[in-house]
Amino acid sequence: QKEVEQNSGPLSVPEGAIASLNCTYSDRGSQSFFWYRQYSGKSPELIMFIYSNGDKEDGRFTAQLNKASQYVSLLIRDSQPSDSATYLCAVVNTGTASKLTFGTGTRLQVTL
Amino acid sequence: DGGITQSPKYLFRKEGQNVTLSCEQNLNHDAMYWYRQDPGQGLRLIYYSQIVNDFQKGDIAEGYSVSREKKESFPLTVTSAQKNPTAFYLCASNQDRGHRELFFGEGSRLTVL
């Protein structure tokens, strides 16, 4: 069983719409959650991190965490073509100190 | 500027040759990692190290070796035992406490001819 699961996509949304990316994880004790964006051929870059239940907003991005249901999501408002990339969810599992476990990523396509 | 430097960016290797990928960080991070990424795939952990002179196997360590003689450096050797080494290799680092954001290098693309 995968520890961090994401739908591989592609998720296609029109420009200006809200993109919703979801991630579920298996370790109930996980404390730290991260969303990375990766453009083709480039290294991942951090979009947001979240530790507490609820929503965390940063510009057009909102991360949502629900520990009881073991899912974390990323909302992108007013989607732009430049948002087209693969979005990786990562979790720090219990007892692994600093090691992040990544999902396989969701490819987002923002269409004109 | 603080960051992670990987070299080389592109590397071509003949079958049967060992190659070493360099990774240096000046972020004073305790932990360092090597990931492999194949086209359209996620990141798979090869090796990681949380302290100097110690490292652990990740999910796909076979055919790879590492060393951690200095805090700043974590080189990865891709040996001839690695059956399918053509991939994009990413080095990363983070702190082992507090905010554990992972910082990545720009990656090394290895192609076996």
Contact B30 A98 (CB under 8 A): yes
The answer to whether B31 faces chain A, any CB pair under 8 Å, is yes
The verdict on whether omega for the bond into residue B85 sits within 30 degrees of 0, i.e. cis, is: no
Cα separation, A3 vs A55, in Å, equals: 22
Beta-strand relationship, A106-111 and A11-14? parallel
**pLDDT of A1 strictly over 60:** no
Chain A CB contacts of B104 under 8 Å are 43-45
* CA of B29 vs chain A CAs: smallest distance (Å): 11
**Do A102 and B42 count as a contact with CB atoms less than 8 A apart?**
yes
Q: Which residue, B3, B95, B4, is CA-closest to B50?
A: B95
CA distances from B25 to A88, B19, B22 (A): 23, 20, 10
Does residue A83 sit in helix, strand or coil?
helix
Of B71, B77, B75, the closest CA to residue B96 belongs to B71
The answer, for A105 touching chain B at a CB cutoff of 8 Å, is: yes
Q: How far apart, in whole angstroms, are the C-alpha atoms of residue A66 and residue A39?
A: 27
Provide the b/e sequence for A63-77 (b: ≥16 CB within 10 Å).
bbbebeeebbbbbbe
Prior bond of B8 cis (ω within 30°):
yes
Predicted local confidence at residue B1, as pLDDT = 67
| pLDDT, tens digit only, all 113 positions of chain B | 679 999 999 999 888 899 999 999 999 999 999 999 998 788 999 999 999 999 999 999 999 999 999 999 999 999 988 889 999 999 999 987 776 889 999 999 999 98
Residue of B41, B43, B96 lying closest to A98 (CB–CB): B96
CB atoms within 10 A of CB B12: 13
